[in-house]
A and B are shown apart, each in its own frame.
Chain A
Amino acid sequence: MITLENVHKSFGPKQVLRGVDLTIPKGESMVIIGGSGTGKSVALKCVLGLITPDQGRILVDGQDAARAERDAFLARFGMLFQGGALFDSLSVWQNVAFRLLRGSLKRPKAEAREIAIEKLRRVGLTPDVADLFPSELSGGMQKRVGLARAIAAEPEIIFFDEPTTGLDPIMSGVINDLIREIVVEMGATAMTITHDMTSVRAIADKVAMLHDGVIKWTGPVAQLDSSGDPHLDQFIHGRAEGPIAAVR
């Protein structure tokens, strides 16, 4: 279980998070929606300790994330970054198998490569991309390699930052199914950021909407259409008119 309590974060004068409270139960799939630039990525990075919150606490299974032993803590997580964040000095399979080639999860090279190719297949990529370099791939392919890397070590907790942005509708469907599968099969806890309402309905158990630095609404995906919350309604129907200003 992941709990964010009153998390604040500013960059200079800009207050991005102003008291985020959110709970993600173990084995559930939480989707965070919200306009671009509202701080969704910042919130994920706070949980991982990549950004230190100015105020507030983050608990993972009751343990304070800020005081946890970093290596053991991070070994439980997989993360897909918004831009893929592939290492461009390493080939595709070495990216995917990064964790399996060093550190506590290290295993023989041939085995690591095999696992990498299997994970690539799961995200809809053929084995012949394994020896390419990230710069030789299209944006959508890089995204999927990033996804394969995030799931390679079968983490308990997986964060997906806009997993389907930049993918064609069919590939988006494949990735949505994959995320759903990972949560159901592996029993992983997932936190996904997306703007894509099809994705939301496909992968979410629960949905939270971030706006103005706080969680404006949270609830089960079934209640998405009957929330009565004007912010949420405007967002899910993509209306220019409403309480959320179009110019931010």
Chain B
Amino acid sequence: MILLSPLQHLGRAVLGLLATIGQVAIFAFDGLSHMLRPPFYWREFLAALLQIGWLSLPVVGLTAFFTGGALALQIYAGGARFSAEAVVPQIVAIGMVRELGPVLVGLMIAARVTSSIAAEIATMKVTEQIDALVTLSTHPMKYLTAPRVLAALIVVPILVGIGDIIGIFGGYVVGVQQLGFNSASYLKNTADFLELSDILSSLIKGAAFGGIAATMGCYFGMQSGRGAQGVGQATKASVQAAAVLILAANFILTSVFFSS
């Protein structure tokens, strides 16, 4: 396999990718259709909200804070070359809200949530728990997939909003403590510059990335092969796919929202 010519490799990869995309799309629509039809498993939904939302807060907060701070330093250093140091508040704000907030939260969710969903469902598959669910007249798509995907669609935008705020705060702390900005005017500049459409685009991206992250975890978990190796493969593939799809979706959404 490894010794195939690069062209053959590429061809196979593209064909495999297209087939997977088709299957994932069918899977996503199936999951969606199960969200809309009863029964709805509230307990699983609330557990997923807790797992995806609340328990992701620390990692989201830390990531956003440090990124906002680093962003402020970079913009200050770069801006100094054109004597444009003053734009730090504005650029940190749109940088975080439009791009970095959603993308970083999306990637952290892919690392934290996609992997754990995939590993959990794959283990259930390998240990016949999915078969057991079916024989107990419970549809795995309803019981496992729908609550997780719905929870991610709702809670990841909230995480992104929080990440945006903490990222801006990180920039503010660095700006005021280290770069000598005036606290009140930093905040005013940030608030004046951000528009509602920026914030909406951020939250919409959050919902899209959350949906992608949870769907990939469920899909690859359900597709898992046998044994511990199957679980490992499923987990790896799910995180890989979620990360790439989130970045691709980000590019598409950014071009839709901002290239006019």
Residues of A within 8 A of B (CB): 45, 48-50, 70-71, 74-75, 77-79, 81-83, 85-88, 98-99, 102-104, 149
Contact = CB atoms under 8 A, between A and B. Distances in A.
B128 interface: yes
Given A81-B132, A85-B132, A103 B138 contact: yes
Nearest to B126: A83
Contacts, number: 49
Nearest to A48: B135
Contacts of A49: 134
Interface in B149-205: none
Contacts of B134: 48-50, 74
A74 B137 contact: yes
Contact of B127 (A77, A85, A99): A85
A110 to B, nearest CB: 17
25 contacts: A45-B131, A48-B131, A48-B134, A50-B131, A50-B135, A71-B137, A74-B134, A74-B135, A74-B136, A75-B137, A78-B135, A81-B128, A82-B128, A85-B127, A85-B129, A85-B131, A85-B132, A86-B132, A87-B129, A87-B132, A87-B133, A99-B137, A102-B138, A103-B39, A103-B138
B117 to A, nearest CB: 13
Contacts of B39: 102-103
A81 B131 CA distance: 9
A71 B132 CA distance: 14
Contacts of A81: 128, 131-132
Nearest to A95: B132
A79 B138 contact: no
Contact of B128 (A71, A83, A104): A83
Given A81-B131, A85-B132, 13 more contacts: A45-B131, A49-B134, A50-B134, A50-B135, A75-B137, A78-B135, A87-B132, A87-B133, A98-B138, A102-B138, A103-B39, A103-B138, A149-B136
B225 to A, nearest CB: 12
Interface of B: 39, 41, 124, 127-129, 131-138
Contacts of B135: 48, 50, 74, 77-79
A154 to B, nearest CB: 14
A45 B132 CA distance: 11
A75 B135 CA distance: 8
Contacts of B131: 45, 48, 50, 81, 85
A79 B132 contact: yes
B231 to A, nearest CB: 14
A83 B127 contact: yes
A138 B111 CA distance: 33
Contacts of A87: 124, 129, 132-133
Contacts of A149: 136
Contacts of B137: 70-71, 74-75, 99, 103-104
Nearest to A72: B137
Nearest to A75: B137
B138 A85 contact: no
Contacts of B129: 85-88
Nearest to A88: B129
Nearest to A87: B129
A217 to B, nearest CB: 28
A86 B132 CA distance: 8
Contacts of B133: 87
A45 B131 CA distance: 9
Contacts of B124: 87
A50 B135 CA distance: 8
Contacts of A103: 39, 137-138
B136 A98 contact: yes
Contacts of A98: 136, 138
